[in-house]
Amino acid sequence: MNLVLIGMPGSGKSTVGKILSRMLCMPLVDTDAMVEAAAGETIPELFAREGEAAFRDRETAAARQAAELDNTVIATGGGIILQPENMAALSATGLIFFRDRALEDILGEDHMGRPLVGKDPDKLRILYTQRIELYQKYAQYTISHTKTAEEAAARIAALYR
Ligand code: S3P
């Protein structure tokens, strides 16, 4: 069974994933890193060259590949919930955890490498409003009110054991 982390950009999925992977001695993959490795380009480069729709197709391919793994922590890009087939594939082989980090904390992160957010806090607020229901819908467990990534990882590990 995989452990799949979903949530907003800047909610700390990759950081929580690293801690969780160490805690549980499970390998870690990240769908953003899979897309970048397959394309040989960074996400901002892909968005600039191909646009968002092409990125979403690449992300779906990465989600399918990740879903074929087992006993792996899977950190995902914030938009993974936009395509139902991604979540169908990932939930077939994994438990889905939504890290519902407070919007104010997310706003405090650096979003420069994120083409859909960049420097504009309003873009993040809009994404949050548009997506919150989807994160909740797909999550088996919502990890909220956890200030630190360590706390979030510990909560997930406790639920999994
Ligand atoms: C995106 C989030 C990013 C990355 C891409 C699109 C989104 O991942 O997949 O820039 O639509 O929310 P992170 O959530 O890891 O920043």
Is the CB of 77 within 6 Å of ligand 1?
yes
How far, in Å, CA of 42 to CA of 32, rounded?
9
The answer to whether the CB of 78 is under 6 A from ligand 1 is yes
Indicate the number of domains in the chain. 1
pTM of the model: 0.97
> Which CATH number fits the domain that encloses residue 66?
3.40.50.300
Domain, as residue range, for 35: 2-160
Q: 79: CA distance to ligand 1 center in Å?
A: 6
pLDDT tens digits for 105-145?
999 888 888 999 988 889 999 999 999 999 999 999 999 98
- Cα–Cα dist 141/133, whole Å: 14
